[in-house]
Structure 1
Amino acid sequence: MISELKIAKEAAIEAGGLILNYYKADYEIKEKGYHNPVTTADHAADTRLKEILIESRPDYGWLSEETIDSPDRLDKERIWVVDPLDGTKEFIEGVPHFVVSVALVENGDPIVGVLFNPVTEELFTASNGAGAFLDDKPIHCLTKDEVRAMVILNSRSETRRGLWAPFDGVFGELRAIGSVAYKLGLTAAGKADIFASLRPKNEWDICAGNCIINESGGKLIALNGAQRKYNQENTLITPGLVAGDI
């Protein structure tokens, strides 16, 4: 497992370096769908991640936000699940809330997770049974009994849409931050009490963060209470998600 974690870390850091070359520079922006942009940086990072990870482990499957999906992955025992740039909107806006997200899944369970923020140089890592780390220092989820004292990391876009307005005053603080994966890393590191999303997410958004949350003593569940098994034909997780020491 150490070798897989090492490969994932090296790949994430190298992809992050490519992304940083584009940050606040000139690059192409396209729309994959409504409010779903993709940039030259996304594609460059995706290409490099695939080169490193698949070259290192050619028998593993592949699922990435920026690669056309193949049903071949469904037959694989192990599969890389990546988001080369989680937080593309923030990247475009010049807000440093984005990460490279790399996970390794075995029989549906995330066993390696790496998140790298190339601007802040925060490196969140975890592997099954070995704990979670931020910059090589052990991390753990926070535990608070008083709901009104809790800090909740929620979505910038959901906040803009007014989806969190009914929760004003319920918690100690609603802190809107970009990138689902980054929020999971911060929650695992005890920078907040709970991560929550009211909208569906994809496997590549949360898989690495799920491993890191697990190894930091927390868990990630859908709002209906279900825990995710990864490498599904339908990669969308509904209705929303919550994570932390819950």
Structure 2
Amino acid sequence: MAEAAGFDIEVMIGPVLDAGARTLAYRDAGVATEIKADESPVTAADRAAEAILLAALARLAPGIPVVAEEEASAGRVPEVDARFFLVDPLDGTREYVRGGDDFTVNVALVERGAPIAGIVYAPARGRLWCGDVARGVAWRAHLHDGVLGERVALKVRSCRGVPVAVASKSHCTPATEAWLKASGCAERVSVGSSLKFALIAGGEADVYPRPGPTMEWDTAAGDAVLRAAGGHTLCLDGHPLTYAKPRFFNPGFVASGGHPSLPLRPFLTADTRPTDESE
């Protein structure tokens, strides 16, 4: 069992699978899309999946604050201390709306600014990843007829040759291209959502540069799986990415396995550098 500081993250596998099933049911029925104040899309599936996860956490981990994307968008953000959950019920909503498979359900436990356990589930792919950083245990499994199959241990690979980069389908920028060139990344895998972290954790890729802003609930679960598999995620200046920042805002980062990462900040221009009090 993947146990992190007294909380067994695996008790959330069932609710995560339920939330994923709900997203598929909404998609099959045809789901309407709204645009939030930050111009990102949201659907009834986001809200329904989040409700499942919040109810489960309230039952299984009472007293631990939960910061969830749609709750935060509605202005309902609890006070957090050293320990709290980050929940993204449907990461990759744009991919979801256009009928793609690269969307995920994400739950992470954060302790003293670092993700210590996380689950990433890709419902349309039937794949789930789980990681416990303290124990250094990370695994993935396929879902068959509602049942998780054999667990496969995850470990980042040692990158001795040309690194393979995993990049966003919708957020490639000149800064990303410049960083990839300077890092010698000639091969690239394009995938959406937190699946980018999962590919590195499983040794299918080496680096994921993201100079643009994200929110902490976008990254925490995948980051936890990656760290548990031996990888790391660094902020713009090359220090470990931390959590519980103001507004739960990530200015930029590089996630990597065994590949030494160049800092991203030198590749940002004045007009593309994120501006936020948390930078």
- TM-score of the aligned structures, taking structure 1 as reference length: 0.89
Cα distance in 2 for residues equivalent to 1:213 and 1:186: 9
Instruction: Find 2:48's aligned residue among 23, 44, 49.
Output: 44
- 1:92-125: CA deviations, max 9, x gaps? 1111011101001122222211000111111100
Instruction: Find 1:174's aligned residue among 183, 188, 200.
Output: 188
Instruction: Find 1:73's aligned residue among 79, 93, 99.
Output: 79
The equivalent residue for 2:130 is: 125
Instruction: Find 1:58's aligned residue among 44, 55, 62.
Output: 62
Instruction: Find 2:250's aligned residue among 234, 237, 240.
Output: 237
The equivalent residue for 1:113 is: 118
Cα distance in 1 for residues equivalent to 2:218 and 2:230: 20
Cα distance in 2 for residues equivalent to 1:205 and 1:84: 10
Question: Structure 1: 5+ residue runs without aligned partners?
Answer: none
Code of the residue aligned with 1:157 in structure 2: it is S
- 1:41-85: CA deviations, max 9, x gaps? 1111011110111121120001111113556432x3321111000
The equivalent residue for 1:134 is: 140
Code of the residue aligned with 2:11 in structure 1: it is I
Instruction: Find 2:218's aligned residue among 205, 209, 214.
Output: 205
The equivalent residue for 1:144 is: 159
Cα distance in 2 for residues equivalent to 1:208 and 1:58: 20
The higher relative CO (CA closer than 8 Å, separation ≥ 6) is in: 1
Q: 1:233 to 1:71 in 2, by over 3 A?
A: farther
- 1:3-61: CA deviations, max 9, x gaps? 52122222211111111112243112011145511111111101111011112112000
1:217 and 2:222 matched: no
* Percent of residue pairs bearing the same amino acid type: 27
Code of the residue aligned with 1:197 in structure 2: it is R
Question: Structure 2: 5+ residue runs without aligned partners?
Answer: 142-150, 261-279
Over the aligned positions, Cα root-mean-square deviation in angstroms equals 2.1
Q: What secondary structure, in the 3-state scheme, does the structure 2 residue paired with 1:23 have?
A: helix
Cα distance in 2 for residues equivalent to 1:28 and 1:163: 34
- TM-score of the aligned structures, taking structure 2 as reference length: 0.79
